Amino acid sequence: MRTIQNYINGTNKPPQNGQYLDNFNPATGAVYGLIPDSGAEDVDAAVEAASAAFPAWAGLPLEQRHDILRAISDGILANLDQLAEAESMDSGKTITAARTVDIPRAALNFKFFATALLHFASESHSMPGALSYTLRQPLGVVGGISPWNLPLYLFTWKVAPALAAGNCVVGKPSEVTPYTAYLLGDICTKAGLPPGVFNIVHGLGPRAGEAIVRHPKVKAISFTGSTRAGAEIARIAAPMFKKLSLELGGKNPNLIFADCDYETMLKTTIGSSFNNQGQICLCGSRIYVERSLYAKFKKDFVEQVRAMRVGNPADPASRLGAVVSKGHYEKVLSYIELAKQEGGTILCGGHPVPQTGDLAGGWYIAPTVIEGLPLECRTNQEEIFGPVVTIQPFDSDEEALALANGAPYGLSTTLWTNDLKRTQHFASALQAGIVWVNCWLLRDLRTPFGGVKQSGVGREGGWEAMRFFTEVKNVTIAQ
């Protein structure tokens, strides 16, 4: 059994109430560790440590802050194998995905914002008789709360810019996947991060998470997770006038036109549907195909999806590992049942994938393609967040746009076409924070990231993140 601890003021500390939660390995379904079930008293201790560390951290010469964040990035890469194994064991994702996507990206997040802080600047405005300039100052103590699907990747996506901008952080990773965040604490200490600058409190959302949101000394909350929890957080934080960045759920459409580069589209659509078992907020779960291409796409897509291997996350031959938890496994299967009741036809998958031996208790689901469902049904309106997609033909640009915009979410859309006029029209008319054209998940970390409608408010990434984690003050000096 591995027991992890909170990371407060630079040291590992047990929860003050002495209580722990079980940590499950999705590949086997077995408990393999314990997680602090922290309460408000642990959050108080973390916030006190962060408050005490703030003046020195905010006042550190930029080059020194840069060097420490770069050292954290290097430390993550130096521990790539251990972190990748930990991420896979906590989340059920394949070790290959953790090694090639999650952990390298976590290192890159620190590297990227370490350099950003050296170049971040503010505006000045001169007029006859006066000069105004804008100060962008760190906020103080800020909170970062992250989900289980890309655990270290998304946790560091918040923590790195917050620290780069000169804040101290109290972070809470998902209670479902806490292990790599725990390992990160040690990496930060070794990199020379002063005690208290970054603190990690583990535990449940409504308890430890809510205590961070409610704490009066926490000036901003960067949250990534479900729309439901985002609404809870907004209810608490809005009347306290905290800065809020809410990166929430998605039900992303893929629009595939007959003039697309077919092979690239097909390969990418397999990934955008089922990478990480479909548990990426940016996965395209509603696939709309121009009618003239529909029959060919359906045949080729289903054939390739059927061939995807589901199994042991540690086996490099596995394309899909396990889904993250028993609760999530049951939720995804219940949506497949719902799709049948709503009149959908299961073209492939639609069932668990039983394993043997140690893995017999794990949570594996076959990649599932469903046809014949209208836009308005729950299957096409609600986020399933698993290896399940629906496919449907369309007859015109107008219909494709209406289908794409016809869900309550607005995170990302992928458009497959070589028609420039159409691309520009759709880019403008789509209700989404991100539009990918002839690609998917191609990320330039300088670009704004976030959603509209029920996918959240605020943008992260690049200068947007540095702006979010700083307060603006205008100074006007008469000449």
Give the residue, chosen from 85, 87, 102, 232, that forms a contact with ligand NAD under the rule CB under 6 A: 232
Let me know: does 21 contact 176? Beta carbons within 8 Å.
no
Distance (Å, whole) CA 21 – CA 19: 7
Assess 281 for contact with ligand NAD (CB under 6 A): yes
Give the residue, chosen from 50, 106, 145, 432, that forms a contact with ligand NAD under the rule CB under 6 A: 145
Q: How many residues bind ligand NAD (CB under 6 A)?
A: 32
Shortest separation between residue 19's beta carbon and ligand NAD, angstroms: 16
Element holding 390 (H helix, E strand) = strand 388-394
Instruction: Choose the stretch contacting ligand NAD; rule: CB under 6 A; options: 52-60, 145-153, 339-347, 364-372.
Output: 145-153
Distance (Å, whole) CA 479 – CA 474: 16
Letters for 32-71 (x = contact with ligand NAD by CB under 6 A, - = none) are ----------------------------------------
Instruction: Choose the stretch contacting ligand NAD; rule: CB under 6 A; options: 37-45, 160-168, 226-234, 311-319.
Output: 226-234
Q: Which one, 65 or 172, has the nearer CB to ligand NAD?
A: 172
Give the residue, chosen from 233, 289, 320, 333, that forms a contact with ligand NAD under the rule CB under 6 A: 233
- Going by C-beta distance under 8 Å and a sequence separation of 6 or more, which residues neighbour residue 197? 50, 53, 57, 163, 168, 169
Q: How many CA atoms lie within 13 A of 76 on its CB side?
A: 30
Shortest separation between residue 175's beta carbon and ligand NAD, angstroms: 5
Q: Nearest CA to 476 among 135, 120, 137?
A: 135
Letters for 337-366 (x = contact with ligand NAD by CB under 6 A, - = none) are ------------------------------
User: Cβ atoms within 10 A of the Cβ of 111, count?
Assistant: 19
Q: How many CA atoms lie within 13 A of 325 on its CB side?
A: 14
Give the residue, chosen from 102, 247, 290, 464, that forms a contact with ligand NAD under the rule CB under 6 A: 247
Shortest separation between residue 79's beta carbon and ligand NAD, angstroms: 22
Distance (Å, whole) CA 36 – CA 13: 9
Give the residue, chosen from 33, 140, 209, 387, that forms a contact with ligand NAD under the rule CB under 6 A: 209
Beta bridge partners of 244: 221
Number of H helices, E strands in the chain: 16, 23
Instruction: Choose the stretch contacting ligand NAD; rule: CB under 6 A; options: 7-15, 141-149, 357-365, 423-431.
Output: 141-149
Assess 148 for contact with ligand NAD (CB under 6 A): yes
In the region spanning residues 372 to 391, those forming contacts with ligand NAD, defined by CB under 6 A, are 383, 385
DSSP 113-181: HHHHHHH----EEEETTEEEEEEEEE-SEEEEE--SSSHHHHHHHHHHHHHHTT-EEEEE--TTS-HHH
Cα-Cα end-to-end distance for the chain: 68
Q: Which one, 15 or 456, has the nearer CB to ligand NAD?
A: 456
Shortest separation between residue 440's beta carbon and ligand NAD, angstroms: 15
Assess 272 for contact with ligand NAD (CB under 6 A): no
Is residue 35 packed enough to be buried (19+ CB in 10 Å), middle (13-18) or exposed (0-12)?
Answer: buried
Give the residue, chosen from 225, 278, 362, 461, that forms a contact with ligand NAD under the rule CB under 6 A: 225
State how beta strands 30-36 and 2-3 pair.
parallel
Shortest separation between residue 9's beta carbon and ligand NAD, angstroms: 21
94 φ/ψ sector (left φ>0, alpha ψ -120 to 50, else beta): beta
Shortest separation between residue 174's beta carbon and ligand NAD, angstroms: 4
Letters for 172-201 (x = contact with ligand NAD by CB under 6 A, - = none) are x-xx--------------------------
Shortest separation between residue 281's beta carbon and ligand NAD, angstroms: 3
Torsion of CA 214, 217, 219, 223, to 10 degrees: -40
Q: Nearest CA to 380 among 396, 359, 404?
A: 404
Instruction: Choose the stretch contacting ligand NAD; rule: CB under 6 A; options: 60-68, 179-187, 242-250, 461-469.
Output: 242-250
Which residues are annotated as catalytic?
247, 281
Assess 161 for contact with ligand NAD (CB under 6 A): no
Distance (Å, whole) CA 422 – CA 99: 38
Letters for 79-98 (x = contact with ligand NAD by CB under 6 A, - = none) are --------------------
Shortest separation between residue 343's beta carbon and ligand NAD, angstroms: 26
Let me know: does 384 contact 370? Beta carbons within 8 Å.
no
- Any idea which residue has 């929430």 for tokens? 248
Q: Which one, 185 or 205, has the nearer CB to ligand NAD?
A: 205
In the region spanning residues 425 to 454, those forming contacts with ligand NAD, defined by CB under 6 A, are 451
Assess 213 for contact with ligand NAD (CB under 6 A): yes
Tokens for 458, please give them. Answer: 């605020």
Shortest separation between residue 232's beta carbon and ligand NAD, angstroms: 4
Contact residues toward ligand NAD (CB under 6 A) are 145-149, 154, 172, 174-175, 204-206, 209-210, 213, 224-226, 229, 232-233, 247-250, 281, 383, 385, 411, 451, 455-456
